[in-house]
Each structure stands twice: as C-alpha cells, then as structure tokens.
C-alpha cells in the first residue's frame, strides 16, 4: 500500500488525476449509485479531495469520507459540504461498523493483493449483511483485476454480487477510443453495459457482505 507521504506528493498539485474533469464518469456513477445511497449513512474510502463526495454522495443522509493524504483532506474540508465529515486515515485502519453503505471507488487497486483480501475480510467482519460499492479497472494487468478473479474472490469470501455495471471503455485499440467518444453523446452512456468485456476499463460492483 502506498503511504501518506506518497499521496501527499501526488496532491502537491491539486486534482492530480483530473477527477473533477471526468464528467462522463460522474454521470454514469450517479445513474447507478443514487438509489443505493439516497438517505443512507455512507463510509467513503479513498475520498481524495472530496470530488465524488460532492458530486455523487450528496444524496446520502451522511458521509464519513476517509483519505490517507492530509493535503487532500484539507482541500476536501474547504468544500464545506453539509452532509460530510472528512477524516485523515488509512482505510485498512478505519472502523467499518455502523454504516449503511461502504463505498470504495477507484482506489482499492492501490492495495497489494494481500491487502485487498484483508480489506474484504474486514468488510465481511464489520459490515455484515450490508452493501459494499466497489469499482476498479478490470483489464487484468498484474496491478489491476480481471472480472473473473474478482467474482471468484467475492464468492470465496461469501459476498453476494447484487449487480455490476461498466463505467468506462479501455482506449486501446483506436476503435475502442471511437466508441468511448460516441458514448459521450447525450445519453450514450446507457449503452455502456451492452459492450463486450474486453472493451471495458472500469467496472462498478454492488455487493452484499456475508
């Protein structure tokens, strides 16, 4: 797992991953997450500078948003969101008890394989019977996941997959880039879930903890 110092170096420049410019991703997440988090208490892990806290989780009753970088958390706090509390913490050391929903969007792949398993075991232990929202790349590089590996891991740990949705298209080869741009046309994102798996970069999973 990368350290607080590592992430503080990333956040020396505001919005180092261009999160605030990913409007297409935000529209897709709102479409799939709003019903799941509306009027719920949410633990958002890896919240960064609070972009998704503001853009997606504003429909929640309350949000506890956690990030390992105190630089990012200082920027998140400056948003002054009415329903959110921001905390500097390591997500593996955060208590998962007492929330309706845990959300870990685009960050679990920063954990090692062992840490990922420890994370899911902790969710199963401290968040039993409740919802976990998880997303990440499924391009099957050593750093990331494959859909098959995730499904096997969820099953082995007793998680129930409620649903999953595609979030974005992998930009290689060039033909996929053309499709990705077509999806950005008005309401084009409705077609995302119809695309074949080899074209998909990010996928969102809604899970029920055992």
CATH code of 20's domain: 3.40.50.150
Per-residue confidence (pLDDT) for residue 177, from 0 to 100: 77
What does the mean pLDDT of the chain come to?
93
12 falls within a domain:
yes
Q: Identify the bridge partners of residue 65 per DSSP, sorted by sequence position.
A: 44, 86
**Distances in Å between the alpha carbon of 179 and those of 37, 47, 172?**
30, 29, 11
CA dist 130 and 144 (Å) reads 25
Specify if 178 maps to a domain: no
* 120 pLDDT higher than 90: yes
pLDDT in tens, 6-16: 999 999 999 99
Evaluate whether residue 192 is within a structural domain.
Answer: no
- Examine residue 53 and say whether the peptide bond preceding it is cis (omega within 30 degrees of 0): no
Domain hosting 16: range is 4-166+204-208
Residue 171 within a domain: no
119 pLDDT band, cuts 50/70/90, is: very high
Q: What is the pTM of this model?
A: 0.94
**Residue 161 resides in a domain:** yes
Residue 157 belongs to a domain: yes
Tell me: the pLDDT tens digits for 166-183? 999 987 777 777 887 888
**195 lies in some domain:** no
In a domain, 130, yes or no: yes
Pairing of strands 41-45, 62-67: parallel
Cα four-point dihedral sign 170, 11, 135, 137: positive
Supply the DSSP symbol for 146.
-
pLDDT for the residue 142: 76
Number of domains in the chain: 1
Do 66 and 87 touch, CB atoms closer than 8 A?
Answer: yes
pLDDT in tens, 48-90: 999 999 999 999 999 999 999 999 999 999 999 999 999 999 9
Q: How high is the pLDDT of residue 143? A: 75
């Amino acid at each position: 797992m990368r350290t607080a110092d590592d992430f503080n170096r990333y956040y020396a420049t505001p919005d180092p991953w261009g999160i605030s410019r990913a409007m297409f991703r935000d529209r897709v997440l709102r479409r799939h997450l709003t019903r799941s988090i509306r009027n719920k208490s949410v633990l958002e892990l890896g919240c960064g500078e609070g972009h998704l806290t503001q853009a997606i989780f504003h429909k929640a009753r309350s949000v506890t948003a956690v990030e390992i970088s105190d630089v990012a958390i200082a920027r998140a706090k400056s948003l002054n969101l009415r329903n959110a509390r921001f905390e500097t913490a390591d997500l593996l050391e955060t208590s998962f008890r007492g929330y309706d929903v845990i959300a870990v969007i685009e960050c679990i792949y920063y954990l090692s394989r062992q840490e990922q398993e420890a994370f899911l075991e902790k969710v199963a232990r401290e968040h039993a019977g409740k919802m976990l929202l998880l997303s990440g790349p499924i391009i099957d590089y050593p750093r990331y996941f494959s859909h098959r590996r995730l499904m096997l891991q969820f099953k082995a740990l007793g998680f129930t997959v409620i649903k999953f949705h595609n979030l974005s298209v992998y930009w290689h080869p060039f033909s996929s880039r053309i499709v990705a741009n077509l999806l950005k046309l008005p309401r084009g994102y409705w077609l995302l879930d119809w695309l074949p798996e080899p074209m998909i970069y990010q996928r969102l999973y809604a899970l029920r903890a055992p």
